[in-house]
């Protein structure tokens, strides 16, 4: 293990609680075993110098960035050193089936990206519908179960499974991981599971159209009579509220969240404030909006002007004071990823790159193999130096591929070739995970490193 203070290796021997170099604590009792007479001792940092994610206690953990102490999920602040900032997660999160819940479809990797990913491991499981990663846990949803793994040495090790509610298989459309819970969305119910205790917390019935969350609220779009509403659940207080929306079910296109929930619809772009329960139409043009993201208070939206059949991309503040606009021709999918100032827009057979700060300027394109067509599901991975790698699902007839693209070097490689079903792609901290159906009721999960 590694000392949190001096970052020097410490021999792992029995009853080692302090660093032999600087005297700082290197282990602590498992936070899930408070009140146990002899709790398990866990290291603050493992042999790789990272917070532990696979310890047998009852994990997963969050960590104080100042003193390094570990806490059970649900703890907001450090009680040992008085640090007032929020606790850190032990691994880079991929909080939903599509990545960050703000809609950017991008993950910031704390390191330097080099080379091409290599295959680390593969395993066969029951057919996977959704995949996400958080708190060091890879979480998959099948038609009957929620499966949990953590990475140990050379592969994923099972941490348990939970049965979905009901007697019939469920079609799950979305998976979110937030506040130590897993939120599932089916057409007629929204099960909520507690990850640490591995229990079903609740399952609310209804007719649901979408879900997302921020740090404090879980939001679901639900049909109410002839209209729709945003159903909110506070992750700390468990207070619920229902905010009616001036929309119909067929208007809903996409939902993202930062401090406010932002909704892309056929009638415009709407922002909902969970605290005040207010809903306002933002001052963007009224076209058929398809995709939306929100970051640092700025809204990025993609839509189609049905009068001209042109694709429109806008980036602006929610008050409408600083709106930039770019118009494209036909042949673009309702999909993009955003890394900082860079926007990656998916065409049929190419990817266009724009700068949000200079949106009116011409885009540059990444040419792709002409025989394959692009599919919705672009993901971007950015390192500390600003280098970007893209993961893009593509298809030729009924054969599916996952393509890895080095944007800086214009280098492309096929990460997973010749899949018989559309793939699921997940960034699991330092690994890229791809899952696809490979036989009747069976999925294969391939795991690659991030070099």
- The residues spanned by each domain of the chain are 1-90, 106-449
Tell me which CATH homologous superfamily contains domain 106-449.
YVTN repeat-like/Quinoprotein amine dehydrogenase (2.130.10.10)
Whole-prediction pTM value? 0.92
Distance, CA of 283 to CA of 226 (rounded, Å): 26
Closest by Cα among 375, 373, 353 to 362:
353
Give the CA radius of gyration of the chain.
Answer: 22
Q: Are 61 and 46 in contact (CB under 8 A)?
A: no
Separation in Å, CA 310 to CA 83, 287, 302, 315: 51, 10, 11, 17
Strand partners, 243: 230
Per-residue confidence in pLDDT tens, the chain, 451 aa: 899 999 999 988 878 899 999 999 999 998 888 888 888 888 999 887 877 765 556 567 888 989 999 988 777 788 888 777 788 887 889 999 999 999 999 999 888 888 889 999 999 999 999 999 998 899 999 999 999 998 888 899 998 999 999 989 999 999 999 988 999 999 999 999 998 889 999 999 999 999 999 989 999 999 998 899 999 999 989 999 999 999 999 999 999 999 999 999 999 999 999 999 999 999 999 999 999 999 999 999 999 999 999 999 999 998 877 899 999 988 899 999 999 999 999 998 899 999 999 998 889 999 898 889 999 999 999 998 899 999 999 999 999 999 999 998 888 999 999 999 999 999 998 899 999 999 999 999 999 998 7
């Amino acid at each position: 293990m590694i000392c949190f203070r001096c970052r020097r290796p410490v021999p792992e021997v029995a009853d080692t609680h302090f660093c032999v170099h600087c005297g700082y604590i290197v282990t602590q009792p498992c936070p899930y075993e408070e009140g146990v007479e002899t709790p398990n001792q866990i290291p603050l940092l493992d042999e790789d110098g990272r917070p532990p994610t696979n310890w047998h206690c009852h994990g997963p953990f969050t960590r104080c960035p100042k003193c390094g102490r570990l806490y059970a999920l649900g703890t907001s602040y450090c009680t040992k050193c008085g640090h007032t900032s929020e606790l850190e997660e032990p691994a880079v999160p991929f909080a939903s089936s599509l990545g960050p819940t703000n809609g950017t479809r991008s993950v910031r990797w704390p390191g330097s990206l080099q080379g091409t990913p290599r295959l680390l491991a593969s395993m066969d499981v029951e057919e996977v519908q959704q995949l996400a990663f958080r708190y060091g846990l890879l979480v998959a949803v099948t038609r009957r179960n929620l499966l949990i793994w953590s990475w140990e040495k050379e592969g994923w090790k099972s941490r348990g499974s939970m049965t979905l509610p009901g007697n019939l298989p469920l079609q799950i459309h979305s998976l979110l991981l937030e506040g130590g819970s897993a939120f599932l969305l089916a057409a007629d119910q929204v099960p909520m599971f507690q990850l640490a205790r591995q229990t079903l917390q609740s399952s609310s019935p209804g007719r649901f159209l979408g879900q997302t969350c921020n740090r404090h609220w879980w939001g679901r779009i639900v049909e109410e009579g002839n209209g729709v509403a945003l159903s909110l659940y506070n992750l700390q207080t468990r207070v619920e509220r229902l905010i009616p929306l001036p929309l119909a079910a067929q208007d809903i296109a996409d939902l993202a969240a930062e401090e406010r929930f932002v909704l892309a619809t056929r009638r415009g772009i709407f922002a909902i404030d969970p605290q005040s329960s207010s809903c306002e139409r933002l001052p963007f043009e009224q076209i058929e909006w398809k995709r939306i993201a929100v970051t640092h208070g700025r809204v990025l939206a993609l839509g189609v002007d049905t009068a001209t059949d042109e694709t429109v991309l806008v980036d602006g503040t929610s008050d409408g004071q600083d709106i930039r606009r770019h118009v494209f021709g036909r042949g673009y999918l309702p999909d993009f990823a955003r890394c900082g100032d860079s926007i990656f827009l998916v065409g049929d057979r190419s990817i266009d790159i724009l700068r949000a700060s200079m949106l009116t300027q011409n885009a540059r394109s990444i040419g792709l193999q002409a025989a394959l067509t692009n599919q919705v599901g672009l993901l971007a991975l950015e390192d500390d130096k600003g280098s970007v790698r893209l993961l893009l699902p593509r298809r030729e007839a009924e054969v599916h591929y996952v393509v890895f693209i080095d944007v800086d070097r214009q280098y492309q490689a096929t990460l997973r070739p010749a899949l018989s079903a559309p793939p699921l792609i997940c960034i699991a901290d330092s690994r890229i995970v791809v899952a696809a159906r490979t036989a009747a009721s069976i999925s294969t999960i391939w795991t690659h490193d991030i070099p």
